[in-house]
Amino acid sequence: MVGDPLVVLAISFAGASAVLLAAGLRGTLRGEAVNRRLERYAGREEKPEFESLGGPNLIARHVDRAVQGRGFAEALRTNLLRADLRLTVGEFLLLRTAVALGAFFFGFVIGRGLTRPILGLFVGMLFAISGWLLPHYYVLWRARRRLHQFVNQLGDTIGLMANSLRAGYSLLQTMDLVARESAPPIADEFRRVVREVGLGVPMQDALEHLLRRVPSEDLDLLVTAIAINHEVGGNLAQILDVIGETIRERVRIKGEIRVLTAQQSLSGYIISLLPVGLAVLIFLLNPDYLTSLFTWPWICMPIGAVICMVAGFLVMRRIVAIEV
Q: Which phi and psi (to 5°) does residue 182 adopt?
A: -85, 170
DSSP 214: S
- Supply the pLDDT for residue 54: 39
Q: Which 8-state DSSP code applies to residue 64?
A: H
Contact 86, 34 (CB under 8 A): yes
Asked if 213 and 177 count as a contact pair (C-beta separation under 8 A), the reply is no
Global pTM value: 0.68
- Residue range 239-263: mean pLDDT, rounded: 86
pLDDT at position 29 is 46
- Are 64 and 89 a contacting pair, CB within 8 Å? yes
| pLDDT score at 140 | 92
Considering only residues 14 and 302, tell me which one the structure prediction assigns the higher pLDDT: 302
Residue 50: C-alpha distances to residues 21, 23, 192, 195 (Å): 19, 16, 20, 20
pLDDT category at 216 given cuts 50, 70, 90 is confident
**What does the pLDDT average to over 210-230?**
88
What band does 45 get if pLDDT is binned at 50, 70 and 90?
very low
Does the domain formed by 148-248 have CATH 3.40.50? no
What would the mean pLDDT of 251-278 be, rounded to a whole number?
85
Are 131 and 100 in contact by the 8 Å Cβ rule? The answer is yes
Q: Are 185 and 149 in contact (CB under 8 A)?
A: yes
Find out whether 112 and 120 touch, Cβ atoms under 8 Å.
yes
Is 117 or 30 the better-scoring residue by pLDDT?
A: 117
The domain limits of the chain are 5-122, 148-248, 262-320
27 vs 85: CA distance, rounded Å: 11
Is residue 286 exposed (0-12), middle (13-18) or buried (19+ Cβ within 10 Å)?
exposed
pLDDT digits (tens, 9 = 90+) for 59-94: 777 777 777 777 788 888 888 888 888 888 888 888
pLDDT, mean of residues 234-253: 87
Q: What is the dihedral of CA 167, 169, 173, 176, to 10 degrees?
A: 10
CA torsion sign for 22, 28, 29, 31 is positive
In angstroms, the CA 199 to CA 191 distance is 12
Q: State the amino acid at position 206 in one-letter form.
A: A
Q: What is the pLDDT of residue 261?
A: 83
Is the pLDDT at 40 greater than 80? The verdict is no
CB 228 within 8 A of CB 206: no
User: DSSP alpha helices (H): ranges in 68-118?
Assistant: 71-82, 89-114
Lowest mean pLDDT among 107-121, 170-184, 200-214: 107-121
- The C-alpha atoms of residue 179 and residue 173 are separated, in whole angstroms, by 10
End-to-end alpha carbon distance in the chain: 61
What is the reported pLDDT for 113? 60
Buried/exposed 136-159: b ≥16 CB within 10 Å, e otherwise:
eeebeebbeebbeebbbbbbebbb
